[in-house]
Structure 1
Amino acid sequence: MTAPAPVPSAPLPGLAVLHGDATMLRHASMAAWERPVPSCPGWDGAGLLGHCGEILTWAGTILGTGEKVDRADREKPPADRSTWVAWYDAALARVVDTLGTVPPDRPTWVFAPSGTPEARWWQRRLGVELAVHRWDAQLAADAACAPLDPVVAVAGVEEHLVQFLPGLLARHEGPALTGSLHLHADDVPDGLEWWVDLGAGGDAVPVTEHRHGDVAVRGTASDLLLWLTHRRPADALDVVGDVDLARALTALVR
């Protein structure tokens, strides 16, 4: 079988969308402050906001210097939960200001082994992180869970498949997942497809031509990302072929 023809990398999510998702996340987290977050077991709305504030603070420090900061050295949320909203807002403002100032290609440490070590990597990562957790917060608050912005969702699908899936497969302790997966985002102009070879350790590429996989999954880019991150069931999408393989793939994310 010939290798699929790759397409250019997904566009970078804009800062306005990132800030909008972060703001909606804050509002929804406050509305669900002591409610459990169904898609993030063990967290309530406050815990979700605290996690996102910690990520923003960590990213802000890294973006400020370009240097590595270990996860273990991340600044933890303040002891007083009543200060978390202001702390989160300050961390968000710092990140947005820094990303709007530094050159996107400035050398910057990133934690993904296959990620390009540039400032723009963090704009993509934070755009996806905040959009997905905004959805989580709205779910916890019993609010309407707005779909993810298509540009953010496409970036998130690509990031998950190319940068994170190989590591998830390598850490998987059950029977090895084998076969191929074909994803199709049907709300993107001209469509966008990805082909994943699980037998090659999760080798994934966006493709320009249609390819048959052992399982094909079609839906909006938002639903595809929410499914890949174990937030939407396979039944919510159009799945053809090995449904068990599709379910096993998303079960890698806990």
Structure 2
Amino acid sequence: MSLDLLAALRREGDRLASMPVDALSSPVPTVPGWTVEHVVRHTGKVHRWANAVILAGPGADTGAVAKSQVESLPKGPDCLPAYRAALDAVVATFEQVDPESTVETFVGARTAAWWLRRQAHEVAVHRIDAADAVHAAGGPAPDAIDPEAAADAVAELTEVQYPHRLLLDRLTPASIGRTVHVHGTDVDDLEWTFTLGADGLTSTRGHGKADVALRGTAEHLLLVLCRRRPLDVVTVFGDTSVAESLLDASRF
């Protein structure tokens, strides 16, 4: 799979920046309490944070950078041009820095390419949030996420979010030691098996047997795993309760 993450970031960021002004107050169906404005302001602030951390260089305190150098986006209609500016700024930084240069992240020292991947997939999911709100208010259905980008987002979820942000205390006792397999139908290399453990989740890439299997497009699998779509948008084989336990612990 050959994936241009910078192009993915631009594409999804452009889509979010193009949300209609009159939809800013529309509620997001899958994120209770949020509106399109919340999505735009949150994602723009995340771009600003990533940009500031990269520019701060190795050894930067990501939390301190967030508090001292990153301003919230303005409220109301001005959030859209402010989001566009935040997107343009972080894209410009990614165009200029060596992707293999060492930078800080919320999981320790990584490369600038790590942040590019995180930003591309962050905005993809949140763009769906905003587009879902527009659709629920009578607008067009959301444009699909590129299948290769969605498949890589599932991989990033597995490699970054699950090890560091899974709410282990929400896993049901009955699900500990059990397994979930995901299988993409539109991208060749989208197959993972997750083992749920009391002290964390382990993952294996490739085909495997599991207590429950989820089969669907890369986009549907990503959005199910991110709790943006119900389980019934994919085909489920086996013990649904194991998948539900994983999803309940994925509240991030």
TM-score, normalised on structure 2? 0.87
Please list, as runs of the form range in 1=range in 2, the aligned pairs for 1:1-254 lying within 5 A after superposition: 13-28=4-19, 30-66=21-57, 67-70=60-63, 71-73=66-68, 75-112=70-107, 117-142=110-135, 143-169=140-166, 171-173=168-170, 175-176=172-173, 177-178=175-176, 179-189=178-188, 191-199=189-197, 201-207=200-206, 210-254=207-251
TM-score, normalised on structure 1? 0.86
- Structure 1 unaligned blocks of 5 or more: 1-9
Task: Summarize deviations over 1:226-245 as a string: whole Å, max 9, x none.
Answer: 00000111111011011111
Q: Percent identity?
A: 33
Task: Decide which structure has greater helix share.
Answer: 2
- Structure 2 unaligned blocks of 5 or more: none
Closer, same or farther: CA 37–169 of 1 in aligned 2, 3 Å: closer
Task: Decide which structure has greater strand share.
Answer: 2
Query: Aligned with 1:217: secondary structure?
Result: strand
Structure 1 residue 81 displacement after superposition: 2.9
Q: Once superposed, what is the RMSD of the aligned Cα atoms?
A: 2.1
Contact in 2 for aligned 1:12/1:124 (Cα 8 Å): no
Amino acid at match of 1:124: R
Query: Aligned with 2:213: secondary structure?
Result: strand
Number of residues of Structure 1 aligned to a counterpart in Structure 2: 240
Task: Give the Cα–Cα distance (whole angstroms) in 1 for the partners of residues 20 and 126 of structure 2.
Answer: 10
Task: Give the Cα–Cα distance (whole angstroms) in 1 for the partners of residues 182 and 170 of structure 2.
Answer: 25
Contact in 1 for aligned 2:163/2:201 (Cα 8 Å): yes
Range moving further from structure 2, 175-184 or 94-103: 175-184
Contact in 2 for aligned 1:168/1:252 (Cα 8 Å): no
Contact in 2 for aligned 1:36/1:45 (Cα 8 Å): yes
Task: Give the Cα–Cα distance (whole angstroms) in 1 for the partners of residues 83 and 166 of structure 2.
Answer: 33
